[in-house]
Structure 1
Amino acid sequence: MLDRIAYLGITFDDVLLEPGYSEVVPKDVDVRTSLTRHIPLNIPVLSSPMDTVTESELAIALAQEGGIGIIHKNLSIAAQTREVDKVKRSENGVISDPVTLPPDETVQTARKLMEQHHISGVPITVNGQLKGILTRRDLRFLTDNMQKIAEVMTKDNLVTAKENTTLEEAERILTENKVEKLLLVDDHYRLKGLITIKDIDKMVNFPNACKDARGRLRVGAAVGVMDFERADSLIEAGVDVLVVDSAHGHSKNVIATVRELKKRYRIDVIAGNIATGEGAKALADAGADAVKAGIGPGSICTTRVVSGVGVPQLSAIASAAKALEGSNIPVIADGGIRYSGDMTKALAAGAHTVMIGGLFAGLAESPGQTILYKGRTFKAYRGMGSLGAMMAGSGDRYQQKDAAATGNGKLVPEGVEGRV
């Protein structure tokens, strides 16, 4: 037996970092890093694609601080796509494709659209030509929802600017005219974009936000093995990165999925999970732009107990980092982060970023159910390998999709449900 032991593995509680001489003070520390080969982060943190951790609200809050959220896939394709769209529309430098309505639509339609997209105004156009704007101020005292927009919209003295207006110029125009929305038009008065004072304020309040080239918050989303229909929809919504989410990433189907995604789309792909250098190298060779290291380290994961499979987390991170040394493919440490010091150890072991589940599950922004228990408030938290999560759609992550979908066969949970 002893001759079959590969090496001694270590995890977070087994080590401490030895202090040394430094000339860097805490306020000068730079924690900017790379999520993938092409996506930078201002803080080395991303949220786990779990159904009690990450939907649009948490993804927005995390991206504003410089990290990125990964929307879970225990949703229908349409619902997951909507969550991505909420993040992409939540904040913009310049909104290049604002939601619009024609003047012959009803006020009722406008109200529904504003509620759906969480916006306070809609430009009114005809064949792209700007005709006016409808804001909550116009609707405040209206009682007849069947009135036409043309009858109530603001159409005179519209505050507009050229489409190449800078944000600094836009702020000055908005302030001078005491309005919240600046309509951008071309020489033929066709609507080309929209700038809001709210987005300018957010840029001031969240200077380190993680944004794409168009000034929108970045967001990722999980997809299953060979789930290209979901990938199509998410990419159309503007998702920045896809995460091929599997409990065992060093496998034929995951590798094939990564290859096909990179062949079909021009988008960064994160793949995992792996716990060895060989697994990391296999995913990198398939085209992955980052790999996730970690099998079973999470507080609500029982994979190691149920299957007897796993590698202590620090060893898994170090193995992946060593295998990818010299490449520009980052390693994501996924799971087992209980304290801030664990993040530091993960980065020291070779990770570029850490993926967090449990520490985020208790936040107000997480989608887990709020529970009042013995006078204290908790949030529901469950592993994606728990029975409830697998019945809700995550069975494919553990190669148990058919049993979860049809009810034929027995599910073998690899996670638990609890509260935090």
Structure 2
Amino acid sequence: MSYDIEIGRSKRARRTYSLDDIALVPARRTRDPRDVSTDWQIDAFTFPTPIVGAPMDSVMSPASAIELGRLGGLGVLNLEGLWTRYEDPQPYLDEISLLPGDDMPRVTSRMQEIYAEPIKAELITARLAEIREAGVVVAGSLTPQRTQEFSRAVVNAGVDLFVIRGTTVSAEHVSQNQEPLDLKEFIYELDVPVIVGGAAGYTPALHLMRTGAAGVLVGFGGGATSTTRRALGIHAAMASAISDVAAARRDYLDESGGRYVHVIADGGLGVSGDMVKAMAMGADAVMIGAPLARATDAPGRGYHWGPEAHHHEYPRGARTQMSQVGTLETVLNGPSNHVDGTSNLVGALRRAMATTGYSTLKEFQRSEVVITQRS
């Protein structure tokens, strides 16, 4: 079957599907939600829930990363954010939350000024040490451009999982201006498992898996704060992207003789139903920002933004106001009094697994899905 369609006489395009285009199908056999397991294991680390907190200043501080770890997830600290630029970033977090929402150029300009402060290696060490002292899994994130400069400080601080995260990350980046990061060599020499991405297709993901990455992030500019699609004209439909990368995982498993690389959906997962469908399409875990930014104890204080919002040359993101729904614990585990999928995310996943008859996340990836609409 061909998924290509003609766009005029000179261009063909592949038909792809977003998470809004699909739905799960209830199964013949159902289960009690209390009998299903949402455990997720990557490398030597097991988590009771497959939720990864996105490395965004509005979502993850050392305190919220610790709390997410206590609640069974994995918090990833942005090591290029305010927490590694300022000894006390709270005044700047407060200021960002108070900037006037009706003047976006002013908001962007002031955020660019705040984030112009240099990153300090000693603060990377201090923030990661704070998380480690709490007894939870320690994870930090750098962009590919900063990885070589600060990776040694990250590893020396005792990080358990290292995330290399960008809008898009390739194993074959080409530059005439600087020596690009050799992912395969870098990961081989590193002493900790690495999660890398984003990737939005089969071939880029397969190449990232061949670098030795423990996990691949799937997504491109699809989050609540990103304007990448409007600014650059680039977008990835998440249902198709996850399925493509899951196929790369399957083929790499055979190619490597049994090495399993985790697929982590990252972007465009605004409510619990999106998270559920991402896992049904083949994701092992989800990296989320907006759902956690709705927590009353999130660092953004009701606002959400990513690194694209303050890029010094070409900002392509927005500081977005979020409706707060409860504490981080309520967002993850309820109890919920919201009917829109913004709280009790883990309860929603359990109920979806039970309704479709699956008891583990790997089994849940075999869920039947249908196409419900075309945007």
State the distance in 1 between where 2:32 and 2:25 align: 17
Q: Note if contact 1:54-1:71 (Cα within 8 Å) is conserved in structure 2.
A: yes
2:128 paired with 1:84? yes
SS of residue matched to 2:250: coil
SS of residue matched to 1:239: coil
2:102 paired with 1:58? no
Shift of 1:251: 5.2
Report what 1:244 is aligned to: 164
Q: Note if contact 2:128-2:159 (Cα within 8 Å) is conserved in structure 1.
A: yes
State the distance in 2 between where 1:315 and 1:273 align: 14
Q: Note if contact 2:171-2:211 (Cα within 8 Å) is conserved in structure 1.
A: no
Report what 1:7 is aligned to: 14
Residue from 29, 33, 36 that aligns with 1:26: 33
Shift of 1:62: 0.9
2:289 paired with 1:357? yes
2:191 paired with 1:272? no
Q: Closer, same or farther in 2 for the Cα pair 1:260/1:367, shift >3 Å?
A: farther
Shift of 1:40: 2.7
Shift of 1:52: 1.3
SS of residue matched to 1:336: coil
- Residue 246 of structure 1 aligns to which amino acid in structure 2? G
SS of residue matched to 1:250: coil
Report what 2:274 is aligned to: 342
Residue from 278, 285, 304 that aligns with 1:381: 304
Where do residues 89-128 of structure 1 align in structure 2 (5 Å cutoff)? 89-90=133-134
Shift of 1:366: 2.4
Shift of 1:250: 2.1
- Residue 169 of structure 2 aligns to which amino acid in structure 1? G
Report what 2:314 is aligned to: 412
SS of residue matched to 1:287: coil
SS of residue matched to 2:307: coil
State the distance in 2 between where 1:257 and 1:59 align: 29
Decide which moves more: 259-268 or 299-308.
259-268
Residue from 133, 139, 147 that aligns with 1:227: 147
Q: Closer, same or farther in 2 for the Cα pair 1:25/1:230, shift >3 Å?
A: same
Aligned residues between the structures: 264
State the distance in 1 between where 2:31 and 2:183 align: 40
State the distance in 1 between where 2:187 and 2:170 align: 17
State the distance in 2 between where 1:16 and 1:224 align: 33
Q: Which runs of 4+ in 1 moved over 4 A?
A: none
Q: Closer, same or farther in 2 for the Cα pair 1:80/1:380, shift >3 Å?
A: farther
Report what 2:262 is aligned to: 330
SS of residue matched to 1:252: coil
State the distance in 1 between where 2:308 and 2:182 align: 21
Residue from 226, 230, 246 that aligns with 1:321: 246
The C-alpha deviation readout for 1:98-137, integer Å capped at 9, x for no partner, is xxxxxxxxxxxxxxxxxxxxxxxxxxxxxxxxxxxxxxxx
Root-mean-square deviation over aligned CA pairs:
1.9
Q: Note if contact 1:258-1:271 (Cα within 8 Å) is conserved in structure 2.
A: no
Q: Closer, same or farther in 2 for the Cα pair 1:5/1:362, shift >3 Å?
A: same
The C-alpha deviation readout for 1:321-364, integer Å capped at 9, x for no partner, is 01111520010000111211111100000000001101111324
- Residue 266 of structure 1 aligns to which amino acid in structure 2? D
Q: Note if contact 1:276-1:320 (Cα within 8 Å) is conserved in structure 2.
A: yes
Give the share of equivalent positions with the same residue, in percent. 28
Report what 2:339 is aligned to: none
SS of residue matched to 2:141: strand
The C-alpha deviation readout for 1:216-271, integer Å capped at 9, x for no partner, is 31021012225234221122221111111111112534984422332322110111
TM-score, with structure 2 as normaliser: 0.66
Q: Note if contact 1:16-1:345 (Cα within 8 Å) is conserved in structure 2.
A: yes
The C-alpha deviation readout for 1:58-105, integer Å capped at 9, x for no partner, is 111111111101100223332232221111101xxxxxxxxxxxxxxx
Q: Note if contact 1:45-1:356 (Cα within 8 Å) is conserved in structure 2.
A: yes
Higher RCO, 1 vs 2 (CA within 8 Å, ≥6 residues apart): 2
Q: Note if contact 1:54-1:69 (Cα within 8 Å) is conserved in structure 2.
A: yes
State the distance in 1 between where 2:46 and 2:12 align: 38
Residue from 226, 247, 252 that aligns with 1:301: 226
2:207 paired with 1:282? yes
Report what 1:107 is aligned to: none
Q: Closer, same or farther in 2 for the Cα pair 1:342/1:302, shift >3 Å?
A: same
Q: Which runs of 5+ in 2 are unaligned?
A: 1-5, 85-118, 175-179, 254-259, 323-375
2:137 paired with 1:218? yes
